[in-house]
Structure 1
Amino acid sequence: MPLATLIHRASLPGPQVSEAQALQWLAEYYGFSGTLQALGSQQDLNYRVDSERGRFVLKVCRGDYALVELQAQHAGLNYLAEHSAIKVPRVISANNGADLLSLQANGETVHVRLLEYIDGQPLTDFDHLGQDVVAWFGRLCGEMDLALAGFDHPGLERTLQWDARHANTLISHLLPVITDAQQRAAISAAAEQAERRLQPLLDKLPVQAIHMDITDDNVVWARDAQRHWQLQGVIDFGDLVRTWRITDLSVTCAALLHHADGDPLVILPAVKAYHAVNPLQYAELQALWPLIVARAAVLVLSGEQQVSIDPTNTYSRDNLSHEWEIFRVATSVPLELMEAAILTAVGQTVPKVEKPEFAPLLPGLVGREFALIDLGVLSPHFEAGNWEQPGIDQRLLTEAAAVHGLAATRYGQYRLSRTRPDSATEPDTFPLHVELRVPAGADVQAPFAGVLKQAANGALQLDGPQFSVRLWGVTPVLEQGVAVDQGQKLGTVTGPLLVQTCRGAELDAPLFCTPSRASAWQALCPSPAMLLGLACDAEPELDAKTLLERRDASFARTQKHYYVDPPRIERGWRNHLIDMQGRSYLDMLNNVAVLGHGHPRMAAVAARQWSLLNTNSRFNYAAVAEFSERLLKLAPKGMDRVFLVNSGSEANDLAIRLAWAYSGGRDMISVLEAYHGWTIGADAVSTSIADNPKALESRPDWVHPVPAPNTYRGEFRGADSAPDYVRSVEHHLQKLAEQKRQLAGFICEPVYGNAGGISLPPGYLPQVYEKVRAQGGVCIADEVQVGYGRMGHFFWGFEEQGVVPDIITMAKGMGNGQPLGAVITRREIAEALEAEGYFFSSAGGSPVSCQIGMAVLDVMEEEKLWENAQVVGGHFKARLEALIDEHPLVGAVHGSGFYLGLELIRNRQTLEPATAETAFLCDRLRELGIFMQPTGDDLNILKIKPPMVTSRQSVDFFVDMLDRVLSEGL
């Protein structure tokens, strides 16, 4: 390899060609004029040309590049146009038919070409790329390599600084450009380690023509109507070369690392997608990460070099931060870990090693029984948040040892104690070790022959030919650096004993890792069970995907679930939900669990009452009377009768029946965009097309919907719009009167819940209630979502309008998840139903439900949850409103307390709903540890109805993450 050529090319500045000169060439050699816009490039000069003939790219490179190399690029473009579906630029011929011109500029030869411009957007400036886009990059890279496998040209045999075959030579030459000694040492060490890993693999790597620059700069995209990214084409074939095939994927993956938010495993979807379309050989999979590390080193060195010789090159200067981020991420984990992660991601296993016959590590305890302590997510040892106490795992272990004599944890059991509430990152919940409690002074012996040393992390480490064992809590009896025979005494136990086994003496393994890295680390740090003679491996849990398949095979799929691939949630605590891997998710939409999840009072009350009695309300027991009395104390004066049911749907259905019985009519007026339940009656008055796309065409003739009094995006807007919306109600009332049809009633959420927590215009309900009552109808306030103190300033939603309804329906938070609903009304309305027969709900008002209902009210008062909704909820709304000035996508913040809606729009004049963006935002928030879902007929409003125990810390975490996602670009 001609070193001088490589070094010369790595030191070239870009050609200096003015816009005037470029326009002159366009006119003289291509016969048209236009306007120019400079495009970035490290060593070339590119102009976008906008002309009457279309849009093109004028590419100018230095004459140092041989013409045959440029001809190879053109031949490659033509080959792909014929043999692939991948969109690539066409080469535009000059007036003389040539597709390549060699011209003079400032006394130097330059090569000039004109290519078709592919419209689209590169993704280099996006901080975050979704897994689907990452996979697209990998699939595209695989398809490109597959297409180019049959292409050849003399110009592909070239000396190119980006060719991984020359990385080590180039790095050695360019290292002096780094003036910081610490940075220089880090680059040198990373490059040397990568080179050592690559050397045994080089002869096994397939060679072919590759693009070698399929990056976020050179792939252009456009969003479709649903805001999904769609590939438009691949540009810039300047690095087309014949080299190792796997180099292409390494370049693509390296470019993805500056979108990784520090996590190198972000590349795995790209690797899996490439492998699916163009299977990689085992040696290529092993070589991939070392090539990425080498690429990262070349990027920073070449970038620093280019800026030093061409300070005016803003493209190179701006890219430096990306390149240093790529290097930081690429060197943040051991090479062995990434090799294992890549192999396991495509269904391969790490290279096997011979496992020796181990001698027992604790010879004096062979055959003794250990108590294996359950520290997992479902452990019965954990309740009421005690897992948050520092040292809880160790305390449980010590207590078990005090009873049983010997105790141990389980290898690979996700630890609940290591979950992290209000965190955007995965917690390191997976233990790569076993912790034991054994008698002090117990002998520890070498399970295999090796060399003993004291590790930097404080462990006593025995390194054998294939395995290393690390021990904490052992006082050695041998000197460091001595050779140890199998079975030789190493020391004695003097404290809590931790045991970890690893493949390789130099592997820097953690004691705990994150769930996404667990399979890779397990391959490198297998269970020490064989050394201990102890069956201490965790039992495999049913994974979320398999569970979902079982659910879909038996549970009617009309009963939807959140997210396409939901995590398995089996535990909750306060305003967080916890999956089986110990990841804590902030619950920002659960308006059922007002007290939060796992409340100990609810568990105690339910257990106590179940142990006594649970039956139906036809029996005479105190709880049903006591709970009814408690509810009436919360109701407006004059309301004196309670019905207890199981749900909001049942409550609203019963309310409609009461209206029918009391009025003698059947016709109901409801409000558009509202949801009242799923029973036949409640569904009939529900008009939300988000819940039922056919809602507006399937209403029975006794339901008369009126326009939603939406002050933000309705037909009439603003605080003074009530009279305009009332006219629609008057119109329907007049029609019913003319048809001599008796009105039964009017049902409405006092705050527009399903539409995003929008307050009704002032004066709307007073006017409507007056007119409905004047025509013999009753007024129903659906408080299922909004009532019970959630708004903070008001206990009932109708209080905001200053009205008193005839019937109040409620459910949701009444039972904190226990099926419990209620209807409160006046005696004369309640007794009107008796003429049609008695009413009965089998489980409504059961002793358990009543006791839980009263306990909810007690806890809400004792823990001042209404005050929390007011204070923290006020802070919440203020922080959300501040986003309006920061992000054009945020249109409005609706509601109050813990009953909020954030409406997303694409245009502040037209209020075009940002439906797709809202869906993307919710999915991205889930990745960051937050459960959120859209609501409203256009599904463009965040449904923010968290448990009423939600803290200021959780609110700030939510808004910070929301701000982050909005800043990433949707």
Structure 2
Amino acid sequence: MDHAFLRRTELPRPDVTAEDSAALFASHYRLSGPVMELGSQQDRNYRIDAPEGRFVLKICRADYAMIELEAQNAALRHIANRPGAPSVPRVLSSSDGLEIVPVQLRGEDYQLRLLDFIEGEQLTRRKHLPAVTVAALGSLGGRLAAALSDFDHPGLTRDLQWDLRRAQPVVHHLLSAVQDQRQKTRIAEAVDAAMARLEPLMADLRLQAIHHDVTDDNVVSHLTEGGQFLPFGVIDFGDVVHGWLVADLAVTCASLLHHADGDPFVILPAVQAFHEVFPLNRAELRALWPLVVARAAVLVASSEQQLALDPDNTYVSGNIGHERMILDVALSVPFSLMETAIVQATGQAVEAAIAGGPLFPGVNSGDFAVIALDPQSALFDGKGLPRPDIEDALLREAAFGRATATRYGEYRLTRTISPSPRPPESLALFVDLLLPAGTEVAAPFDGVVAIREGHLCLKGKKATLHLDGLQVPLDFPEPVRQGEAIGIVGDISAGAGRSRLRVQLCRDPDILPPLFARPDHAAAWAALCPSPKKLLGFDCDAPAAESAALLQRRQAHFARPQKNYYAEPPQIERGWREFLVDVEGRTYLDMVNNVTILGHGHPRLAEAVHRQWQRLNTNSRFHYAAVAEFSERLAALAPDGLDTVFLVNSGSEANDLALRLAWAASDARNMLCLLEGYHGWSVASDAVSTSIADNPRALTTRPDWVHPVMSPNTYRGPFRGPGSTRDYVAAVAPVLEDLDAKGQGLAGFICECVYGNAGGIPLPPGYLQQVYAMVRARGGLCIADEVQVGYGRLGHHFWGFEQQQVVPDIITIAKGMGNGHPLGAVITTRAIADALEKEGYFFSSAGGSPVSCVVGMTVLDIMQDERLQENACVVGDHLKRRLEALGQRFPLVGAVHGMGLYLGLEFVRDRETLVPATEETAAICDRLLQLGVIMQPTGDYLNVLKIKPPLCLSRENADFFVDMLERVLSEGW
């Protein structure tokens, strides 16, 4: 083969400085202005900011034929005229009317071209690219390929080191510059394996004009309001060539791998989007991953060689770390896995299940008992998050003298990891069996046997059977025929006990498959490692996940105003302490669930509920001890004089009842409330709720008895600083004076003593003291809504009103007091409570039931015994300090509100104007979910993270939350 073209790979960049380029701009294009060098591997690119606009001067050596440069220019013009094609630069002529200008500098011949500069962001330095960006990059590549599909030019037929058809000779040539022998061998083996895999596919790979360099470095993107990048334009046509169509996509996919956090599946949205625009055939889909590996090998070998030639090339030295990472990720998985995943991503079918004869001809398949180890298995109830080492014990406990099996395709709870930014490898790709020692195992199909360290492989035509736990004979016939004995289970000399056998199938004979796969890789691994049920003779498969169908059923019958978290929510079916677990075995740190104040799955609470429900559960009109005891304990928690308790089922009911009490006790109707507040969903509690995040029409639909006053928001409101209390109190006066002038009475004032829905913002010092006095002077009652912020959550105080040093007339509570059980309460004075009798009696069917009262008392006992309020104080203060430290690094962080474990992290686009970062906050929450943290926005602008986890949150898990948030803010979302 003629390797003349490889000599160009040994050329350093043109010796042209910024000063030289300024002179070239002036003499050939009559442009002047500041000049800045742009990166390039073998050319020189300089940008000039001239009065006429921004332009890029491209300088290459004369070794590149004129016809090649003409082909690049022609391609740019061709694409610019294609509807739907990406944006590309325009080619501009010199003052002499030339598109390609030959020049000589210091005895070297160069060629100049001038392009206009496309404004936009490049993706190279963005560590994380969300799926929407990856898909947009794939779509852009597909549209570019479509635009070039009818383009031709004589200059496209050229020898190019980046042409993946030549990857093998190019890499072997370049490897002479690699000093590390181990690395040299690794790269050579990678490209050889890739090309061997491509060989049988080459005849079906289509050829056309391709850009061959649509990478994160060569596209420009615009930034959405949510802080995500969407590519719209393509630059640098230096590698345009007549080549394999699928190679264009392979180059794009390879560039994504240094944004992948080690996960090669990150390319799949790009593959799917490209395929939707410009469909690939089956051979091209199978060829894609080998071409990605080949591209990775070319990149690393080329950069190593270029640095040897040009050690001062900062562009190459800055990128080589990325390129090494690309190769590492490309080689981290088998070819067969990625080929399968790519085919699946484009909606094409994979091979069917593996059939064969019985594996245990002497065992009746009906004798097997199958156990479940998934997150919904009753085996784990009340036991926390199990460890993997209990699987064998659970299998043996379930046997009861029978042959026993685990399930294939099951997401095992035993494999969960908490906390973790990555999904666990939880899907079982095998079946474990507990069988009588000595059970004979037969070959289910013809094959060749290999034994390695007690692991038996039977390699057949369509699959390899992997068995662990066999006693095998010393010799096997070659080949083994279907039905012939290949061993016995366990050691028969040990007696009549039961032994464990692991059974796994794999279509790829060249790999030892993993036992478990992470959920986002599960479909591809399951296709490679199908169920062995046809060999076992019984159904060992776990039911397929139906989360998407279940969500559709929810949406079909569950009223739409009852929203769910996230557009694509995980299906949560188990919890433990501050963790939630989905059906795929993924554990999430729950940083938003203020309902479960003790944490999830508390065994002591579950036992108390179980015990009471077995005895009695009825309504509070019956006489039983629990309602008296719980009422007494609640009254003891309140300030002196607040000694009378109503028991209800929710915060909405509690606030609704509090309003009725204020009306009854005052003989008035008018109520004051705060703007930005939220108090519930019932008619009365909704009437005094003014948060537009919960009700966009809140400010225009209040009944005439509701009188909202200015929100005393000391961060975002009109008054800030030490004197804000006076100003916010003064803003209440006109409303009261207007009521006085009209001769209308005042029933009362309701507010959260720490602004809950606004993100835990404390009221200005002394605010409630003065407003309470103004309300009481007019005969009104003061209601403290402690539903979200009270009950020990603030850490430093049990009640929110303690922070303001006031005593309300009515306290409302719910949420945490039942740890998720429907339980709420109103605490007030006997006189206020008795005032309700003139309107009739009060009754809540389930409020104050025996079970509810036992729940409430058990929660209080556990809070005291586990010192949860103290934990909220200590861990909450630590968490707040760490969140405040983020504000020193990231301008998006506007403020950290709240105290204890009721905190709000407010995001703003500008710290002076406080423009809310609403879209960014939503995207950050979605990214946190990917990293294993449950978080949601709050506030009127939905730009505040509402941080209110279970009070058992550990310091270590608080740190995990901040670490993940810091990662998102650093890497992007």
Structure 2 counterpart of 1:545:
548
Structure 2 counterpart of 1:178:
178
Does the aligned pair in 1 maintain the 2:880–2:903 contact within 8 Å?
Answer: yes
Structure 1 counterpart of 2:306:
306
C-alpha distance in 2, partners of 1:47/1:807? 71
Structure 2 counterpart of 1:891:
894
Structure 2 counterpart of 1:434:
431
Structure 2 counterpart of 1:340:
340
Report Cα offsets for 1:755-810 as digits up to 9, x if no partner. Answer: 11111111111111112111111111000000111111111011111111000001
Counterpart pick for 1:964 among 955, 963, 967: 967
Larger displacement relative to structure 2 (899-908 or 649-658): 899-908
C-alpha distance in 2, partners of 1:324/1:382? 43
The letter for the 2-side match of 1:380 is: A
SS of equivalent to 1:364: coil
Structure 2 counterpart of 1:398:
396
C-alpha distance in 2, partners of 1:849/1:867? 25
Does the aligned pair in 2 maintain the 1:384–1:573 contact within 8 Å?
Answer: no
Q: Is 1:254 the counterpart of 2:254 in the alignment?
A: yes
Report Cα offsets for 1:714-743 as digits up to 9, x if no partner. Answer: 211135421111111222222221221111
SS of equivalent to 2:379: coil
Structure 1 counterpart of 2:198:
198
Q: Is 1:119 the counterpart of 2:119 in the alignment?
A: yes
C-alpha distance in 2, partners of 1:309/1:658? 85
Structure 1 counterpart of 2:73:
74
Structure 1 counterpart of 2:26:
27
Structure 2 counterpart of 1:37:
36
Runs of at least 5 residues in structure 1 that lack an aligned partner in the other structure:
none
Larger displacement relative to structure 2 (559-568 or 867-876): 867-876
C-alpha distance in 2, partners of 1:352/1:932? 41
User: Shift of the alpha carbon at 1:476?
Assistant: 1.6
SS of equivalent to 1:34: coil
The letter for the 2-side match of 1:813 is: G
The letter for the 2-side match of 1:463 is: K
Larger displacement relative to structure 2 (846-855 or 801-810): 846-855
Counterpart pick for 1:473 among 469, 473, 480: 469
The letter for the 2-side match of 1:413 is: E
C-alpha distance in 2, partners of 1:367/1:885? 65
Q: Is 1:920 the counterpart of 2:933 in the alignment?
A: no
Structure 2 counterpart of 1:645:
648
Larger displacement relative to structure 2 (99-108 or 387-396): 387-396
C-alpha distance in 1, partners of 2:445/2:42? 56
Larger displacement relative to structure 2 (918-927 or 852-861): 852-861
Report Cα offsets for 1:681-724 as digits up to 9, x if no partner. Answer: 11111111111122112222222222221222221113542111
The letter for the 2-side match of 1:522 is: A
Structure 2 counterpart of 1:615:
618
C-alpha distance in 2, partners of 1:382/1:863? 23
Q: Is 1:222 the counterpart of 2:226 in the alignment?
A: no
Structure 1 counterpart of 2:376:
378
Does the aligned pair in 1 maintain the 2:366–2:538 contact within 8 Å?
Answer: no
Does the aligned pair in 2 maintain the 1:672–1:687 contact within 8 Å?
Answer: yes
SS of equivalent to 2:732: helix
C-alpha distance in 2, partners of 1:642/1:597? 27
User: Shift of the alpha carbon at 1:367?
Assistant: 4.2
The letter for the 2-side match of 1:890 is: V
SS of equivalent to 1:48: strand
Give the paired residue count.
964
Counterpart pick for 2:457 among 454, 458, 461: 461
What are the within-5 Å matches in structure 2 for residues 902-941 of structure 1? 902-941=905-944
Does the aligned pair in 2 maintain the 1:720–1:761 contact within 8 Å?
Answer: no
C-alpha distance in 1, partners of 2:416/2:429? 16
C-alpha distance in 2, partners of 1:859/1:153? 78
Larger displacement relative to structure 2 (387-396 or 211-220): 387-396
Report Cα offsets for 1:336-374 as digits up to 9, x if no partner. Answer: 110111111112234679x56x33222321445111011
User: Shift of the alpha carbon at 1:100?
Assistant: 1.4
The letter for the 2-side match of 1:506 is: D
Structure 1 residues 352 and 752, CA gap change in structure 2 (3 angstroms): closer
What are the within-5 Å matches in structure 2 for residues 388-427 of structure 1? 388-401=386-399, 403-427=400-424
C-alpha distance in 2, partners of 1:738/1:343? 76
Structure 2 counterpart of 1:687:
690
Q: Is 1:784 the counterpart of 2:784 in the alignment?
A: no
User: Shift of the alpha carbon at 1:868?
Assistant: 1.6
C-alpha distance in 2, partners of 1:786/1:333? 49
The letter for the 1-side match of 2:229 is: W
C-alpha distance in 2, partners of 1:671/1:258? 50
C-alpha distance in 1, partners of 2:825/2:34? 71
User: Shift of the alpha carbon at 1:883?
Assistant: 1.4
Structure 2 counterpart of 1:846:
849
User: Shift of the alpha carbon at 1:647?
Assistant: 0.9
User: Shift of the alpha carbon at 1:609?
Assistant: 2.8
The letter for the 1-side match of 2:465 is: V
Q: Is 1:46 the counterpart of 2:42 in the alignment?
A: no
Structure 2 counterpart of 1:445:
442
Structure 1 counterpart of 2:493:
none
Does the aligned pair in 1 maintain the 2:140–2:232 contact within 8 Å?
Answer: no
What are the within-5 Å matches in structure 2 for residues 657-672 of structure 1? 657-672=660-675
Report Cα offsets for 1:564-603 as digits up to 9, x if no partner. Answer: 1111112212111111111111111000011112222332
What are the within-5 Å matches in structure 2 for residues 452-531 of structure 1? 452-455=449-452, 458-479=454-475, 483-494=479-490, 495-531=499-535
Does the aligned pair in 2 maintain the 1:790–1:898 contact within 8 Å?
Answer: yes
User: Shift of the alpha carbon at 1:190?
Assistant: 1.2
C-alpha distance in 1, partners of 2:623/2:777? 40
**What is the TM-score when the length of structure 1 is the normalising length?**
0.97
Q: What RMSD in Å do the two structures reach over aligned CA positions?
A: 1.6
Q: Is 1:208 the counterpart of 2:208 in the alignment?
A: yes
The letter for the 2-side match of 1:346 is: T
Report Cα offsets for 1:250-277 as digits up to 9, x if no partner. Answer: 0000000000000000001111111111
Q: Is 1:675 the counterpart of 2:678 in the alignment?
A: yes
Does the aligned pair in 2 maintain the 1:718–1:761 contact within 8 Å?
Answer: no
Does the aligned pair in 1 maintain the 2:137–2:231 contact within 8 Å?
Answer: no
Does the aligned pair in 2 maintain the 1:711–1:719 contact within 8 Å?
Answer: no
Structure 2 counterpart of 1:718:
721
User: Shift of the alpha carbon at 1:453?
Assistant: 2.1
The letter for the 2-side match of 1:736 is: L
C-alpha distance in 2, partners of 1:286/1:225? 37
C-alpha distance in 2, partners of 1:178/1:481? 47
Does the aligned pair in 2 maintain the 1:649–1:682 contact within 8 Å?
Answer: yes
User: Shift of the alpha carbon at 1:669?
Assistant: 1.2
Does the aligned pair in 2 maintain the 1:400–1:406 contact within 8 Å?
Answer: no
Does the aligned pair in 2 maintain the 1:360–1:447 contact within 8 Å?
Answer: yes
Structure 1 counterpart of 2:61:
62
Does the aligned pair in 2 maintain the 1:478–1:491 contact within 8 Å?
Answer: no
User: Shift of the alpha carbon at 1:480?
Assistant: 7.9
Does the aligned pair in 1 maintain the 2:129–2:972 contact within 8 Å?
Answer: no
What are the within-5 Å matches in structure 2 for residues 555-594 of structure 1? 555-594=558-597
Q: Is 1:882 the counterpart of 2:885 in the alignment?
A: yes
Identity of matched residues, %: 58
Does the aligned pair in 2 maintain the 1:133–1:229 contact within 8 Å?
Answer: yes
C-alpha distance in 2, partners of 1:404/1:266? 47
SS of equivalent to 2:842: coil
User: Shift of the alpha carbon at 1:642?
Assistant: 0.8
User: Shift of the alpha carbon at 1:876?
Assistant: 1.5
Report Cα offsets for 1:602-657 as digits up to 9, x if no partner. Answer: 32233333333332222222222221111101111111111111111111111111
Report Cα offsets for 1:278-298 as digits up to 9, x if no partner. Answer: 111000000000000000000
The letter for the 2-side match of 1:45 is: R
Does the aligned pair in 1 maintain the 2:365–2:536 contact within 8 Å?
Answer: no
C-alpha distance in 1, partners of 2:534/2:683? 62
C-alpha distance in 1, partners of 2:83/2:58? 24
What are the within-5 Å matches in structure 2 for residues 87-106 of structure 1? 87-106=87-106
Structure 1 residues 630 and 809, CA gap change in structure 2 (3 angstroms): same
Structure 1 residues 352 and 569, CA gap change in structure 2 (3 angstroms): closer
